[in-house]
């Protein structure tokens, strides 16, 4: 590639960050890192009616949690700022006026009431080639009327003048050659009455100013492509236009339509990266982070929604994704979201992450539930139970018995075959317990004692487990003994004997 790769993720600060948005950010990030370029966060906050306080910081926090923080952003400005569109407002009108002067755009003075009346009369009304000459704009008014209205600061917008009978064609890095008939595209507003640009004008002006080289965005923006391509041409920047890539949709689990927040609410899984609380209503929408996903797993599962490296490999670290990522392997077809598969990714990552990477998250969860262990013991506990944990909160359920002796026992699994011989056996095992032995050595001594007492090891293994943890679950029983220590193990055996004797 001849020029520096510069890509951008440009969300609107209007609420929670959908996993589709995170995937767009991820693909931008991976492409930039693969080509030693820059990944930029630009906040598209020109629609002040939809702006939500705190949403920008939330987006920054989400990207940071995912490990894909931008190289440039409002928080990390460089020479291409400002990075909020609202702070770039003065730059947009000049380009809108330039388009009017060159005949590619026009002033429209229609009031909201006039537009509402028109839309009521014509349900499928589009402001464009077939209707523009019936409306109140600089194409139908005289030059003096237009000048007078502008002098009076009459409310108006600036609309692009879509050409008739043209094909707008471009090469999409994912979809190949794509063509649009301009007769089917309406005259979009470029500059609103409040002087703020719409997405269509702002995105082109900003991408040019920030020297964006490649644009990765969702498939839903494909219908806007002809407008943006014409603006690059009309503003005289056709030779500097970035390359385009429209990413496939993330679909509902059944494949019927784009995955929405409503689908997550209905089916019981998150679609936001992190918890989002609406500042106006106080409504909480849960995120993957708080549900107990590791960022490594979240990024991994998103990468494989619409991309693969051509092999059967499924587990990728962020470094591996940077090395393997290629646009050629992005699918054109939408990718169905499967929450069970998402949990599988998390389970695999929990199993393979180093203990040090898990300790902080697990320690915090345990403390919230009134359980605390020193670092060494915590590391041993995590190592013992991590293969049994799919989500981080599972560590609480899987480790409670290390901190608190069971108060209830699955007695039904033991009592039918319980007898005095077994009670005597456990008393002797407890009295002769040598905690300094390894778990394997403890198991060997336990089995030897059982055989010496005429008992089959299988007859006494389950009662021991239930004495220690309360039920038929948990890791290796002698690993549990080692972690509990001699005194606690003896106490639990004594309590178990009393329970089963009763």
Helix, strand, coil % (nearest 5) of the chain? 50, 10, 40
Tokens, residue 64 = 């940071």
Tokens, residue 190 = 């470029």
Nearby residues of 109 by Cβ (< 8 Å), 6 or more positions away: 136, 137, 138, 141, 149, 154, 155, 156
| CA pair distance 79, 9, nearest whole angstrom | 17
End-to-end, the C-alpha distance of the chain in Å comes to: 79
Using H for helix, E for strand and C for coil, what is the string for 331-359? CCCCEECCHHHHHHHHHHHHHHCCHHHHH
SS3 42: coil
The answer to whether residues 66 and 27 touch, using CB atoms and an 8 Å cutoff, is no
CA neighbor of 208 nearest in space, from 186, 228, 193? 228
Select which of 261, 336, 377, 495 is catalytic.
Answer: 261
Helix axes 295-303, 19-34, angle to 10 degrees: 80
82: preceding bond cis by omega (within 30 degrees): yes
| CA pair distance 13, 45, nearest whole angstrom | 6
How many Cβ atoms are within 10 Å of 268's Cβ, its own excluded?
8
Task: Please classify residue 208 by burial: count the beta carbons closer than 10 Å to its beta carbon, then call 0-12 exposed, 13-18 middle and 19+ buried.
Answer: middle
Produce one character per residue of 133-149: b if its CB has 16 or more CB atoms within 10 Å, e if not.
eebbbbeebeeeebeeb
| CA pair distance 27, 393, nearest whole angstrom | 29
| CA pair distance 313, 254, nearest whole angstrom | 24
Residue corresponding to tokens 């262990």: 373
Alpha helices (runs of H) in 238-317, residue ranges in sequence order: 261-267, 288-291, 295-303
| CA pair distance 472, 413, nearest whole angstrom | 9
The answer to whether residues 385 and 365 touch, using CB atoms and an 8 Å cutoff, is no
DSSP class of 363: H
Please give the helix or strand (H or E) that residue 108 lies within, else none: strand 105-108
Catalytic (active site) residue 252: no
**What pairs with residue 433 in β-bridges?**
none
Task: Name the residues annotated as catalytic.
Answer: 261
């Amino acid at each position: 590639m001849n020029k520096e790769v510069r890509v951008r993720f440009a969300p609107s600060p209007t609420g929670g960050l959908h996993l589709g948005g995170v995937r767009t950010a991820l693909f931008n990030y991976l492409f930039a890192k693969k080509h030693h370029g820059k990944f930029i966060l630009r906040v598209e906050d020109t629609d002040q009616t939809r702006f939500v306080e705190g949403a920008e910081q939330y987006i920054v926090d989400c990207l940071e949690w995912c490990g894909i923080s931008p190289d440039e952003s409002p928080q990390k400005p460089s020479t291409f700022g400002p990075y909020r569109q609202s702070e770039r407002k003065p730059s947009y009108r000049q380009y809108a006026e330039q388009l009017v002067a060159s005949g590619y755009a026009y002033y429209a003075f229609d009031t909201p009431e006039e537009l509402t009346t028109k839309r009521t009369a014509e349900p499928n009304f589009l402001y464009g080639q077939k209707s523009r000459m019936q409306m109140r704009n600089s194409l139908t008014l005289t030059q003096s009327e237009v000048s007078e209205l502008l002098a009076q600061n009459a409310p108006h917008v600036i609309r692009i003048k879509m050409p008739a009978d043209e094909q707008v064609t471009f090469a999409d890095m994912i979809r190949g050659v794509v063509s649009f008939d301009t007769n089917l595209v309406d005259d979009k507003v470029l500059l609103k009455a409040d002087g703020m640009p719409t997405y269509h004008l702002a995105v082109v002006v900003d991408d040019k100013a920030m020297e964006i080289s490649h644009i990765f965005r969702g498939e839903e923006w494909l219908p806007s492509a002809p407008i943006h391509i014409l603006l690059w041409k009309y503003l005289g920047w056709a030779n500097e236009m970035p390359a385009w890539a429209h990413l496939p949709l993330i679909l509902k689990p059944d494949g019927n339509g784009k995955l929405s927040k409503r689908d997550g609410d209905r089916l019981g899984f998150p679609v936001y990266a992190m918890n989002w609380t609406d500042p106006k209503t106080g409504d909480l929408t849960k995120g993957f982070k708080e549900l107990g996903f590791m960022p490594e797993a979240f990024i991994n599962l998103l990468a494989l929604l619409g991309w693969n490296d051509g092999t059967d490999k499924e587990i990728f670290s962020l470094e591996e994704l940077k090395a393997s990522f290629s646009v050629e392997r992005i699918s054109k077809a939408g990718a169905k979201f499967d929450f069970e598969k998402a949990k599988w990714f998390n389970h695999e990552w929990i199993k393979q992450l180093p203990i040090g990477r898990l300790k902080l998250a697990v320690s915090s969860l345990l403390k919230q539930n009134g359980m605390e262990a020193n670092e060494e013991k915590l590391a041993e506990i995590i190592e013992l139970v991590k293969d049994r944990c799919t989500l981080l909160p599972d560590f609480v359920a899987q480790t409670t018995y290390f901190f608190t002796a069971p108060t209830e026992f699955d007695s039904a699994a033991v009592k039918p075959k319980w007898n005095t011989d077994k009670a005597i056996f456990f008393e002797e095992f407890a009295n002769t317990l040598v905690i300094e032995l390894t778990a394997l050595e403890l198991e060997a001594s336990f089995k030897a004692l059982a055989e010496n007492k005429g008992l089959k090891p299988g007859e006494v293994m389950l009662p021991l487990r239930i004495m220690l943890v309360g039920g038929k679950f948990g890791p290796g029983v002698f690993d549990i003994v080692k972690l509990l220590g001699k005194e606690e193990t003896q106490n639990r055996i004594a309590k178990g004997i009393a329970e089963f004797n009763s």
